[in-house]
Structure 1
Amino acid sequence: MSEAQDDDVQEFAALLRRLKERTDRSYGQLARRLNMNTSTLHRYCAGDAVPLGFAPVERFAALCGATPEERMELHRLWILAVAARQRPRAAAGGATPSGAQEAAEAAASDTTSEAAMGTVQDDPASPGPAPRPWYRRRRLLVSAAVATALLATLGSLSAFPDDRAKGSDSVEAVDPPRTTEPDSPRPKSAGSPSPSPGTPSPSADASRKSSAKPTGDAGRPSKEAARPRPSTGVPLTWSADSHVWQAGCGHDYVIDKPPQQVPPPPNPQDAAVWAATMGAVHGKQTLVRITVQGKSSTAVVLEALRVRVVGRSAPMAGTNYAMDQGCGGALTPRYFDVDLDRDRPIARPADGNDSGVTIPAMRLPYRVSAEDPEVLLIDARTAACDCSWYLELDWSSQGRTGTVRVDDHGRPFRTTGNKGLKNYGYDTSARAWVPWEE
């Protein structure tokens, strides 16, 4: 392969790598969503191979959030890369016009099966008829590939959803989940012929057919019954745990009871039951861990996450009980930061940290399915109010959109400021609550 030809392949691979670097997913995670082997995807991004069909490249671009302009540029570079891989084969093997046409049609194929996701290799083909002049073979191969691949791709570009997130205040608060179905079929045009007076009406004709005796085909399933029905309902499930402690051990609860009536701190996994028994309210901070998963292998796009404050009052009176004595760890997961003291709180993506290594923040939109669940961590804080709040999660899938309300088992989450309250920590040696300063 000449240097110019290798440049075409490397330009194509470089754009693939730039798109991949935008995501926080590994090659293995991306390959699983694209239905291909991890090594195959890595070879594409390294410039060691070029996919025969553009369909896997287009799916990769959509998964990485490429813009329409970037998708068109990716398609242009792919055509040049395919042509660059085919040139040595045509020169060594003496491809005939029909052989070049077959190669171009293979390059435009959009099959999604793993067997068809082959690569254009550099090995020469077996000897054939005498080769045509190089300039005629090259023109035939490139023009055929451009024509067939472009026709196949232009029809597929509009099939991928626009992943732009909605505005933070575009949806009103709702209690039940809601969905929006695709547009219903349009009515017939005014030019449609109407039945004449002497012609039986369609309804009358249908009534006669339904009352007729069954024929020999009555036992066979009808085409109408076999036709798949459009999806309905919410395509995802979620669960929420609001009793998550910082680094697994640090948390404050405000309880309107004296220390003598408060039992020792529970294990983190028993915190929900312990807090409910004590009438405890999260002090200063509430960490909510939300697990979101699709109901099928069909991708569901999480479009936006919003905060709804439904109640504000002065901080709760009582005593602050600290569940830890300064324990902590080197791992801080990425999360969504929420300041409940603001008039219009916003869930802002925040980076995590693992022993000095930054964990990139999760940014919506984000895709989930039954095979690829996702965990969202929300860190909500307040110093000046007793706040009741819940979350709204927008989703889209297969042309439908909707919003689910995420709350504490049907009730809003609750967080109260604890500044100025008496503070107690548990002394394990004395087995008692003692005054504690942070």
Structure 2
Amino acid sequence: METRDDVEEFAALLRRLKGRTDRSYGSLARRLNMNTSTLHRYCAGEAVPQDFAPVERLAAFCSATPEERLELHRLWLLAVAARQRVRAAASAGSPPAAAEETREAQETGEPEPAPATEPTPAPASTSASTSSPAPAPAPRPWYRRRRVLASTGVACALLATLGSLSALSTDRSSDAAADPHSSAGPRTTAPTAPHGSSKTKPSASSSPSAAGHGSSSPGANKAPASSAPGTGPTAAGKPATGLPLTWHADSQVWQGGCGHDYVIDKTPAQVPPPPVQQDAGSWAATQGAVHGRQTMVQISVQGRSSTAVVLEALRVRIVSRGNPASGSAYAMDQGCGGELTPRSFTVNLDADRPIARPKDGADSEHTIPAVHFPYRVSAEDPEVLLVDATTLAHDARWYLELDWSSQGRSGTVRIDDHGRPFRTSSIKGLPRYWYGTNGSGERQWVPYGD
């Protein structure tokens, strides 16, 4: 009972650390370079890693404190000792018990226990060998039979492959003899990569309808590749076609869910009360509002199938920069804030060559590691990227480019605002208002700070 308690206490701490990441077993296992079933067995208390390295990677990814890492190492030592006691007790068991131990080692990535050495019988005397027949040979152990069967299967596969190559060579020789005008050199086939799969970089002067291929809304312009069906090879062996991922971009994201500025060329009496963040898109469209000083873009990226798509890089493209937009700045917040700072990519739109730089997030107790490229996504493992772009001096129009690769193909998708560039304008020197209470107790737009 004590043995089981040691293993369960170690597994319980692993589960608590995993719970902080809000990730599935499959997603977390890929980040830790571990098999999904192996991680699940560790967290369920069904297995204990023989090496502390995978446990240390899990602790680092989950931002465990130094005290938690010490406790994790202590519990791991107790759990390993407990499992060793169980194996020692089962070492004298039947062959099925040994088979179960081997199966567990294969699933958890631990080395398979060496089979017990068979005792070598003592040589019989000459008189005994002449007087009695030799005993029948003992049947081979199960693990030797398995290796013999595996070797036989490999040999058969090699023979079949050689036979196919021989037949193919004979067919080509006969074709060459039948067609005297055919070339004697090796034949080349058409490239397997589909049209447009190479990385493309749309210029700033290209029209938004031709360059945008996002899936941010039903009215968004999409490239033909985005509407293509799945990305896996067909039954006839044809190469994969179409864009292997889909994305959705939302630029109406506020700091902490409540902090944001819009530049509107209207007087305060003409501007309606501020909306909640969920209604910001329609409210800003009706007011002709421009993002003031900051634009936060939340990008949801997901593969179209279980095949992994590697996100290679995220680039910023400036379309134009000019003088700040005219009007007044209207603040959506009242000094709100929160304890959670999401991880993001920060962009300085005033720089000569803006770069999306990864930035760690944080909650009240832990650091949330930033996203670093390359990064893998699939249909079962989507990812949300947050871009925080700011300007203090310009009215900037810009968009993003996301490079991807999958199954030997690569490409680039343009991420923009429904087929148009994102737009962010400085609020420096502009009148700024927030929705507060005037001297008569009425709610209206008042100068910021009053």
- Listed as ranges, the matches of 1:379-394 within 5 Å are 379-394=388-403
8 A contact 1:319–1:422 mirrored in 2: yes
By how many angstroms is 1:118 displaced? Answer: 6.0
Distance 1:375 1:406 in 2: 13
Distance 2:291 2:234 in 1: 53
Match of 1:232 in 2: 241
2:313 to 293, 304, 307: 304
Match of 2:25 in 1: 28
Q: 1:129 to 1:197 in 2, by over 3 A?
A: closer
Distance 2:22 2:418 in 1: 32
Q: Does residue 344 of structure 2 align to residue 343 of structure 1?
A: no
By how many angstroms is 1:320 displaced? Answer: 0.5
Deviations 1:193-228 (A, max 9, x none): 5867876999xxxxxxxxxxxxxxxxxxxxx99433
**AA in 2 matched with 1:363:** H
Deviations 1:22-57 (A, max 9, x none): xx897834566544253435689953489xxxxxx9
Match of 2:381 in 1: 372
Match of 1:47 in 2: 49
Q: 1:307 to 1:44 in 2, by over 3 A?
A: farther
Match of 2:260 in 1: 251
**AA in 2 matched with 1:28:** Y
Moved more, 300-309 or 421-430: 421-430
What SS does the aligned partner of 1:36 have?
A: helix
Distance 1:416 1:119 in 2: 54
Q: Does residue 330 of structure 2 align to residue 318 of structure 1?
A: no
What SS does the aligned partner of 1:275 have?
A: helix
By how many angstroms is 1:296 displaced? Answer: 0.4
Q: TM-score, normalised by structure 1?
A: 0.58
**AA in 2 matched with 1:343:** D
Q: 1:275 to 1:124 in 2, by over 3 A?
A: same
**AA in 2 matched with 1:399:** G
Percent identical: 55
Q: Does residue 279 of structure 2 align to residue 270 of structure 1?
A: yes
8 A contact 2:249–2:415 mirrored in 1: yes
8 A contact 1:31–1:41 mirrored in 2: no
8 A contact 2:296–2:386 mirrored in 1: yes
**AA in 1 matched with 2:443:** R
Q: 1:47 to 1:115 in 2, by over 3 A?
A: closer
What SS does the aligned partner of 1:332 have?
A: coil
By how many angstroms is 1:122 displaced? Answer: 8.9
Q: TM-score, normalised by structure 2?
A: 0.57
Query: Mind listing any 5+ residue stretches in structure 2 that lack a counterpart?
Result: 1-13, 62-83, 122-142, 155-168, 183-232
2:340 to 331, 339, 345: 331
- Listed as ranges, the matches of 1:351-430 within 5 Å are 351-427=360-436, 429-430=441-442
Distance 1:318 1:410 in 2: 25
**AA in 2 matched with 1:350:** K
By how many angstroms is 1:412 displaced? Answer: 0.3
1:288 to 285, 293, 297: 297
Match of 1:436 in 2: 448
Q: 1:194 to 1:313 in 2, by over 3 A?
A: farther
Q: Does residue 107 of structure 2 align to residue 117 of structure 1?
A: yes
8 A contact 2:392–2:426 mirrored in 1: yes
Q: Which has the larger radius of gyration?
A: 2
Distance 2:444 2:25 in 1: 51
- Listed as ranges, the matches of 1:135-284 within 5 Å are 226-284=235-293
What SS does the aligned partner of 2:420 have?
A: coil
What SS does the aligned partner of 1:325 have?
A: coil
8 A contact 1:244–1:288 mirrored in 2: yes
Distance 1:259 1:377 in 2: 31
Distance 1:122 1:116 in 2: 7
Query: Mind listing any 5+ residue stretches in structure 1 that lack a counterpart?
Result: 1-16, 51-56, 65-84, 96-101, 108-113, 133-140, 153-188, 203-223
Q: CA RMSD in A?
A: 5.1
Q: Does residue 116 of structure 2 align to residue 130 of structure 1?
A: no
By how many angstroms is 1:229 displaced? Answer: 2.3
